[in-house]
Amino acid sequence: MDVINHSDHRAGYHGLSHSDEISHIVGVPAVEWCVFLERFSRRHRGWLGTVHGVEDDLPLTRMASERLESVSLERSGFDDLVRMTFANGISLCAPQARAVRVQRSDEGAEAALEVDTAAGAFIRLAFRATALPDQLDGVAPVELSTERRIAS
């Protein structure tokens, strides 16, 4: 994975509010996208995230503070689509994905997921809070309700 310096000056990109806590953005090689996104989804299912985007050089907030259900890669020929699905049933897509990156804190906690598209759009899923897996104290409430449905 390639490490990109934090000083990214894309239009509309402002990073997290505590930018001194973020050390780097790591590019995920395309051959690893499917496995990476599957693992990313498992680690962050139920986390509150906000989706920001930059399209036609205009910053947009696509969805504010919703619980993440999953992030997946859908392949159709040479076209890769990254789909972000939320607990409220809404899915946002990044068609013709050309780059996938993860933003990490100095401690290694994942703070955001970024996707660039062939059309020049930039989509960023940023978490309200970050933590390493060993810092979490159990199962998120959304996971408990899912486990009950599976057991029934």
The per-residue pLDDT for range 68-108, each reduced to its tens digit, is 999 999 998 888 999 999 999 999 999 999 999 999 988 88
Nearest CA to 104 among 14, 27, 11? Answer: 27
The per-residue pLDDT for range 127-145, each reduced to its tens digit, is 986 655 555 555 555 555 5
Q: Is the pLDDT of residue 42 over 50?
A: yes
- What pLDDT does residue 71 have? 97
- What pLDDT does residue 4 have? 38
9-20: average pLDDT: 43
Nearest CA to 49 among 103, 113, 100, 102? Answer: 113
Spatial contact of 112 and 127, defined as CB atoms under 8 Å apart: yes
Pinpoint the alpha helices (H) of 31-118: 33-44
pTM recorded for the entire structure: 0.73
Q: Which two tokens stand for residue 107?
A: 């401690």
Strand spans (E) along the chain: 2-4, 22-28, 48-55, 58-76, 79-86, 91-94, 97-105, 110-117, 122-127
Spatial contact of 29 and 1, defined as CB atoms under 8 Å apart: yes
